[in-house]
Amino acid sequence: MNRLGKHKIAWIAAALSILLSSCGIPQAGADSIADIKAQSIQSGIKRISANAAVYPTYTMLDTITVEYSDEIVLPDSDPKTLYTFTDDEAGGKTREITAVYMNNQREINKGENQSSGRFVIIQLSRVENPEPDESEPWQPESTAGMALHFQSSSYLHTLRTDYSGVKIRQNFDALNARGQTVQPSCTLPVLRSENVGWPEFQGFSINNVLQGKDGDVHYSVFIPEDYNHEKRYPMILVLPGYNGLLHSLKLETIGVNLFTDRSSLVWTEQPDDMIVVSPQLEDWGEKSARQVIELTEYFLETYSVDTTRVYAMGYSAGGETMSRVLNVRSDLYSAYLHCSSKWNGDFSNVIENRLPIYFFIAGNDEYYGSEQTLKSYTDLRNGYADRGLTENEIEQLAVINMPDNLYFNRQGIYNYHVGGQYAVNDRTIVRWLLSQHKQ
């Protein structure tokens, strides 16, 4: 080996030594890279993991779990100062830490606030304000720790797969009950994407495939934990917008339709157990409409579904697809929530089956505008009037809600088309939908 090669290896070894020392990994006169690699296993930190959560307008990391090699005792200091959380992807901004506690199990809600433990749970700031004052918009204190990326070139959401920009600093020497050092202060190892969990979605089965007549239909589904064939369950089909609707073979897009907002999650939080189905399709045209019909029929035939309570929700491109479905098979559903979208086709099949529809769109929707929705609502009302229905009967079957900017600003939403996703967070709208029963 030439002199340059020897110097290069020596430089790398020295650099690694400095790096390992900064994290408190013991050095024992290592003479080779192999020796250094072997010693790195002795680190007092065994694993870094995290949980993500879907907030009303953001999807972010929520908690960090640090697994130490031995039980440690936290210093008697302000928890907010024990660790520091920053993210290079957010311009190096810091996310506030609101609590730090420990236990001897990885599960977050077990054994909180023990005096010692191997697992330290770091709670990041979680600003939730479902009913804020008019002057207080909902917004996170920092966007550090975002768990989804929005690809502006393709308008698609993708799961974040690279967390190397997340820097978590341990600002104290971690000692065990005997006063021995388990881990000196350091920057923690890099969080890996495979160690990021989504506990809110634990009940969902992600990326199932129905082999249909028009090709494979990819979908995610929530089945109640105590599902019983002897019971009948209401069901809802959730079609997200373009950024989550389209299926892709890329790992970072599989099941992303669940994580972009709370459109699927909210139905799992209702008093009545529900079956929730959310497909990822190839387009928002006639083929996808046929696949949605086939998927609905599959669940009606396979699961114990209350056929008087089969609901659907479509947002943006998902709403366009769902309107094509309802043009031909509105008899399958009990009510429909149409959010920030446009209607493709007429309402003859809807009127024939008297399907209740709730139109929700911002008065200042930037993408579609609200005029198309208002016209669709008016056409539907006129169609019922032509059939001789009374005003009271029509009001039960056709509802429109076009909130002004302030309605969305209160939630920290300033893109009014995207605001259509917020409809599921409005308890009045959710109650209306779930109160509908097919005769």
**Which pair of tokens denotes residue 107?**
């599960």
Which residue has 């680190």 as its token pair? 43
Percent of the residues in the chain that have a pLDDT greater than 70, as a whole number: 80
pLDDT tens by residue, 133-170: 555 555 566 778 999 876 665 566 788 999 999 999 99
Centre a 10 Å sphere on the Cβ of residue 94 and count the other Cβ atoms it contains: 15
Which residue has 């387009």 as its token pair? 283
Instruction: Measure Cα distances from 194 to 159, 164, 217, 276, 283 in Å.
Output: 11, 13, 26, 25, 29
- H helix runs in 122-238, sequence order: none
C-alpha span between 341 and 370 (Å, rounded)? 9
C-alpha span between 289 and 301 (Å, rounded)? 19
pTM of the model: 0.81
Q: In one letter, which amino acid is 193?
A: S
- The pLDDT, as a whole number, for residue 4 is 36
Query: Please, what sign has the CA dihedral across residues 180, 185, 189, 195?
Result: positive
pLDDT tens by residue, 210-235: 998 988 899 999 999 999 999 999 99
**Which pair of tokens denotes residue 282?**
């190839």
Instruction: Measure Cα distances from 390 to 56, 352, 380, 393 in Å.
Output: 38, 16, 13, 5
Domains identified in the chain and CATH numbers: 45-197 (2.60.40.2180), 203-434 (3.40.50.1820)
C-alpha span between 300 and 403 (Å, rounded)? 35
pLDDT tens by residue, 76-104: 888 889 999 999 998 899 999 999 988 76
Confidence of residue 55 (pLDDT cuts 50, 70, 90): confident
